[in-house]
Structure formats: structure tokens, C-alpha cells
Amino acid sequence: MSTQDINAPQPLLSIDDLHVWYELRRLGFGHAGYVKAVDGVSFDLAEGETVAVVGESGCGKSSLMKTILGLNVPTSGEIVFDDENLSELSGEGLRRYRFKIGYVQQDPYGALPPFMNVQKILEEPLIISGVKNAEERLSRIHKVMSEVKLHPVEDFLEKFPHMLSGGQQQRIVIARAMLREPKLIVADEPVSMLDASVRVEILKLMHALQEAHGLSVIYITHDLSTVKYFSARIFVMYAGNLIEKADTRRLLENPLHPYTHALLAATSDPDFRNSESFKEVPPGEPPSLVNPPKGCRFHPRCAKAIAGLCDEKEPLEFEPEPNHFVACWLYQPQ
């Protein structure tokens, strides 16, 4: 990592060499190995910064996210959020930690209890965090509903989730995440289950909220075409590691890691010429997280793998250009 200016403000979130390993047990007894879901992840997130974490299923991004949310205990490594070390928190401290982070899930309908109307859904987090005054709760609900542009608020408060469109449901999920005035929002594929014409609307809404409140956002997605509208930086995750980190524009213009190249090449724009050629896709599939390949985890699928190096030693992180980090032997300085 580049050296930090002594006078620079502390990052809001600092993750250092995080490992999240799940133990596999054979038939209830007997250790059968570990699923190394997150295997050495480090990054800093400043206040008000947005970062996209891009990766396919099984790369560990859900485990990373759950650990940041305080829903998983890290196996090793440190998470420091808002000057508090997560491993030192428990009980009440841990509850308050979780209040400071809002979570927006992928499936808006699945995220909302079908038997509660909007008012009850939005009151719940306030009641849990001890807001006893019903008027105060209602006033905060009104405020957040206006911010997510669900007007007229009174009409929506009585509705049940099934009466709302996908986009409206997702606005409720966002409103709920915003209620306790978090500093960080973790959004896991927030628009992938919404229709094309609504996705942009929701992303723009999230962007507006982020700017208005100075929120930090971790935007987890596999849709690369949306990241430039919503994130200042991109992290690419593969098999438990962050293999590339850069400013969004720079990564899209100059992807360094062969896997990043492959992801960008696989992303289509609506162009009629696409049907005239085949896409180059790296062969094979992401590796098992129980027994990842020796050396670089991508090497079995990589056309540029260097025999004797990529299949032997895990790549270090290099910085071939300022603020653009890549864990790949191809960029080892000569």
C-alpha cells in the first residue's frame, strides 16, 4: 500500500489481512478442511468514498460483506470501523456497530416481511434501537420516505410489500437501511433483480443519497457496466483474494489482471455486431475454495501464466502505476 500522509484523516473502514475460513466437518466429527472464503484481503475505505467489489459467485464477496457487517467472526486479520476494532466488540458494542452500517440486499421482495406494512417495516429498526416515541419514529420515517422519493408518504405507509413494484420495494429496503443514519452502506447487487429501466433510477437515487449524506458505500456487483455510474474505485475479487484495485476510470481504461480483462471482455454493450463473433472466455471455472490451486489461484485458466512462477508462488501485490494495485506476477518490476 502507498504510504499515508500523517495528516490524512483516518479511513472510515480499514481491513487488514482478513481471513475468513469456514471449517468443514465430516459427518459431524473429524475435521475435513477449510473453505477459505476470504484469504488475505486488505483495503481502506475513506468517509464518503464509494467502492465497487466485483467478482463472480464463489469469489468470497458475500463472506467478506457478512464479516464487515459483523455477521461473521473473522478467522484472522483486523477490521477497524469508525475507530473501533471489530474483534474487541461484543454484546451491546457489537449491536451498536451493526447499527452504523446499512445493508441493501439483492432481492427486494425477499428482504421485506410480507405480513408487515411499510410503516411497520420501517418502524422496526427504530424500535429495536430504542426510539420509544411513536411521533419521533413517524417523523423519521416520513423524512426517509421523502428521500427515497416515495410520495405521497401516507399512501405508501399502509401498503404491504406485494402491492409495490420491484423498484418501490427496493426503495423501501434502502429507506430501511438509511433509517439509523449509518456511515456505511453495503449494497449487495441492489439492482440486479430489477427491470432494466428501473435499475438506473435506483442507482441514481443511491448516488444522490450518498452525496447528500456523505455516505461510504460498498457496492457489490457483477455488472461492470454500472460501476462507472456509482463507484470511485473498483476492487476485483477472485477466489478469496482482491486481485486488482484501482480508480474506476483507470481500471476500465487499463485493466491489468488477466481475469479483469476477461470480465470486461465478457461484458456486452447492446451492439448488433456482437452476434458476429465469439467471446474469448478463459477456460475452466473458479477454483474450489477448499483446495485452491498452488501459487496464483487464477493460473490454471490464465493464458499468460508463467510456468514455474505462477503455479508455485502466490503473487505479491504490485503497484505498476500510482494507486493501481494488482496481484499478478506479470507486473513484477524488473
Partner 1 sequence: MMQTKLLQIADLKLHFKTRTGTVQAVDGVDFELDSNRAVVILGESGCGKSSLAKAMLRLLPRNVEKYEGSVHLQGADVMKFDEEEFRQNVRWVGISMVPQAAMNSLNPVIRVGEQVAEPAIIHLGISKTEAVALVRKMFQHVGVPLDFVDRYPFELSGGMRQRIALAMALVTSPSLIVLDEPTSALDLLTQANIMNVLKRIKHELGTSFILITHDIATSSELADEVAIMYAGQIVETGHARDFFPAPLHPYSQMLMASVPRLRSESDPMFITGQPPSLLNPPSGCRFAARCPYRFEKCDEEPPVFGRNGRKVKCWLHA
CA separation for the pair 110, 153 (Å, rounded): 22
To 10 degrees, the CA torsion angle through 257, 262, 267, 268? 130
Binders of partner 1 among residues 35 to 74 (CB under 8 A) are 56-57
Nearer to partner 1 among residue 141 and residue 241 (C-beta): 241
In the complex, least distance from residue 227 CB atom to partner 1, rounded to whole angstroms: 9
Nearer to partner 1 among residue 55 and residue 125 (C-beta): 55
Binders of partner 1 among residues 249 to 268 (CB under 8 A) are 252, 262-268
Binders of partner 1 among residues 193 to 252 (CB under 8 A) are 195-201, 204, 222-226, 228-229, 252
**C-beta separation of 122 from 176 below 8 A:** yes
Q: Segment contacting partner 1 (CB under 8 A): 19-27, 38-46, 133-141, 277-285? A: 277-285
Query: What string marks each residue from 164 to 183 as x (binds partner 1 by CB under 8 A) or -?
Result: -xx-----------------
Using the rule CB under 8 A, is 33 a contact of partner 1?
Answer: no
Using the rule CB under 8 A, is 270 a contact of partner 1?
Answer: yes
Nearer to partner 1 among residue 107 and residue 124 (C-beta): 107
Binders of partner 1: how many residues, by CB under 8 A?
38
Using the rule CB under 8 A, is 303 a contact of partner 1?
Answer: no
CA separation for the pair 18, 13 (Å, rounded): 13
In the complex, least distance from residue 260 CB atom to partner 1, rounded to whole angstroms: 11
Position 84: which residue type? E
Nearer to partner 1 among residue 56 and residue 317 (C-beta): 56
Contacts with partner 1 by CB under 8 A lie at: 56-57, 165-166, 195-201, 204, 222-226, 228-229, 252, 262-272, 274-275, 278-279, 281-282, 285
